[in-house]
Every structure is written in structure tokens, then in C-alpha cells.
Amino acid sequence: MLTSLLNQPSKIIVGLMSGTSLDGIDAAVVRIDGYGMDSKVELLHFYSRAYDDTLREQLKRICSLDQSSTADVCSMNFLLGEHFAEAVHEAVHEAGMEMSEVDAVSSHGQTVWHIPETDHMCEPPRVRSTLQIGDLSVIAKRTGKLVVGDFRTADMAVGGHGAPLAPYADFILFRDEREGRIAQNIGGIGNCAVLPAAARPEDVVAFDTGPGNMLIDQAVYQLSGGRLSYDEGGRWAAEGTADIRMLEQMLQHPYFRQKPVKTTGREMFGKAYAQQWLNEAAVRQLSAADTVATFTAFTAHSIASGYRDFVLPQTPAATVIVSGGGALNATLLRMMGELLPELTIRIADDFGVSADAKEAIAFAILGNNTLHGVPNNLPVSTGAASPTVMGKLAFP
């Protein structure tokens, strides 16, 4: 099976992404010619499957140390595998294709917990590790396709943080010979890839900028009494005014002073952290709109300060290319533009890449490399000691 697949000059791969925002599953049906840095990628169809409120809240619980259990994680691993497989079938059907035309599936999985550095505050210490669930064998058996997944562990095994991984694809999709660019994904967590003009892979600087949509979504969910799961278009934030004093306090978080390489996630900026600042907003008697505006400004300021502290002093750049759900938040993009007037803020669609689909496309690219046995991490971005082939295989 694998030998005949590798002899094909072109492959159809379904890339799956379920991010830290816990909003649902993205599936990108893509055609990839070649492999490695010379890959040529064409998006054939993009499909998004939202988690229902019950499943989303279950996922939040298993991502919480004080609410989760081994049994819950075990069960959810298989349940999500079923959901991922259904998303593959639905994406292929919507694309007007048959499953027989698909060569492989590549799944990021759902991150439950991520420990980029050994936590010595615990006894015994929690070693560097990461866990993504959504069982690969379940996906393979339900789709009848070879499945690639569990990418982050290999990078961590060679000394990396296991994140960010999308910059490998950002380099392929967005690098330019004449212009320095910053590819900024805003999912649950924000991450950037700095692409100097005429960049080589070893020139890329990448790191997690901090919270993306995660805190905004949690604030909107709670302030709307569960009626809304996100601030569509940033409209609610646009009705309010950010509380500058509260914003300044939020920006004192030590993560923002860490130098790259660095990565973060729900374990640092999750539900408990959101609740802390929702309580503070209530003490300050902020309106719901002002609270959402403050949370949105927090994301914008964390991105801008990351650029000013760790990017722009060393790398000239002209354009920020935004992807992920944050690309649809007009208020967030406006705030970023006001904070970074010297940069042009554009969305990935302007460059022929779907902003919604980019991360799912990225994992299709990474999975294609895995099949060919080609390294698919960027050590300069993750801190790994060497390039390595990430990903494991599950056979149908």
C-alpha cells in the first residue's frame, strides 16, 4: 500500500485540524504534488464541522486538571476518532468525490495537555510531554484509509517544544523573494512565523504569541449565558471600549517576557485564566461589551508586543498574513492595525490560501512528508536538536 502510494507524483490527502479553541473540526481536501519544501498544494475543498455545546464542554473538562479523569480521556480519545472519521467522509462527499479517490488522511488530533518544559513545581516533576487524542486507528478503520497523526511527540523526543508546527507550511505557502512577511495564525492560541525576504528554512523564527480566540470565546460564552460560542465578526467587541488598566494587568503575564523558542496552550490560558479576568471585569463593573473588547484587545496587544520585542528589531517585515478564526474578527484586525501602523494587515485569502483552511492544509503537508520519510519540523522554530520525521501511521 505505502510503496504504491509513494510512487504517485500527486496525492489527495485530507488534512484534519482541531485546535485549542475547541470550536470543531476543520477538514481540507488537498492535492499535493511532490514533497518537502518543493511541495505544490491545491485546496480542492474545505469543510468545517462544529462541536455541539455538550461535546465542547466535555472537552473543556478533560482539559482541566481538577475536572478530568483517566476514564474521560480514554473514552474521548475514541469518540473524537469517530467524529474525525465522519468529518473526512463529509468533506470528501461535499467535494463531489468518492473515498476511493483519497490516498491518505493526516490528523493533528485534539490537544488535551501540553508540557513544553519539565514542570519542577510538581512532585514528582512532570516531564516534557504532550497529548493529542482522536485515535488514529479508529479514523483508519472508519475511512478505510492510511492515517498519519500524532506529530508533536517526535519533535519533543529530539528536544523540541512540539510547537509551533504550522510554520513549516507557512514557509511553503507564503515566503517571498523580495518582502519580509509574518504569517500569523489566530486560532485558540496565536502563533507567528517570521519569513524574511528570500528566507531559507533555517531563517524562520516562529513562536506562540499567546492567546488567540480562546479567551474571547470563553468570555462570550459565559457573558451570553451559553447562547454564543464566539464573537462573530468582532461585533460585540466593537460595541465596547477596552479597559486600559485591566488590559495592562493582563499583559503582565510572565509568558510575554519569555524569549522564543516558546509555546503555550489551554493549560496556561484556559478556562480558569479566563474566569480570573471575568471576575476582575465584574469587580470593575465593566459592561459585557467592554469586557469582550478588553479580551479582544488583550489578544491584539500580545501579538503586537511579541513582534516589537522579538521580531521587528531583527527582521524587517512589511506584511502580516492572518489565518485562522481570528481572520474573521474585524475588530481584532482593526486593533492589530492600529498597534502596528508600519505593517500591512492582510488575510491569507489575499494570497490564494483559505484563512479558515490553512492549518488543516498545513497538516496535510506535514502528513505527506511523513509518508515520504522526509523531516517536517523546523528546529529553529520548535527548539529541536535536529530535523526529524514527525507522525505515526495507522493502517486501514
Checking if the pLDDT of 1 tops 80, the result is no
Residue 351: partners with Cβ closer than 8 Å, 6 or more residues away: 173, 174, 321
CA angle 25, 29, 35 (to 5 degrees): 115
Condensed to tens digits (0 to 9), the pLDDT of residues 99-156 reads 999 999 999 999 999 999 888 888 899 999 999 999 999 999 999 999 999 999 999 9
DSSP state letters, 67-113? T--HHHHHHHHHHHHHHHHHHHHHHHHHTT--GGG--EEEEEEEEEE
- Range list of β-strands (E), the chain: 10-18, 24-33, 40-50, 104-115, 129-133, 146-149, 181-186, 189-195, 205-211, 319-323, 344-347, 392-394
DSSP state letters, 310-333? HTTTTS---EEEEESGGGG-HHHH
Condensed to tens digits (0 to 9), the pLDDT of residues 32-83 reads 999 999 999 999 999 999 999 999 999 999 998 888 999 999 999 999 999 9
Neighbouring CB atoms inside 10 A of 99's CB total: 13
In whole angstroms, give the CA distance from residue 77 to residue 80. Answer: 6
Residue 341: partners with Cβ closer than 8 Å, 6 or more residues away: none
Checking if the pLDDT of 211 tops 80, the result is yes
In whole angstroms, give the CA distance from residue 136 to residue 81. Answer: 7
* Amino acid, single-letter form, for residue 133: I
Structural contact between residues 348 and 355, judged by C-beta atoms closer than 8 angstroms: yes
Structural contact between residues 88 and 47, judged by C-beta atoms closer than 8 angstroms: no
Condensed to tens digits (0 to 9), the pLDDT of residues 335-384 reads 999 999 999 999 999 999 999 999 999 999 999 999 999 999 999 999 99
CA 228 to chain centre: 21
Structural contact between residues 367 and 148, judged by C-beta atoms closer than 8 angstroms: yes
Checking if the pLDDT of 20 tops 90, the result is no
Q: Residue 285: which region, alpha, beta or left (left: phi > 0; alpha: psi -120 to 50)? A: left
The helix/strand/coil state of 224 is coil
Checking if the pLDDT of 302 tops 80, the result is yes
DSSP state letters, 28-77? EEEEEES-GGG-EEEEEEEEEEEPPHHHHHHHHHHTSTTT--HHHHHHHH
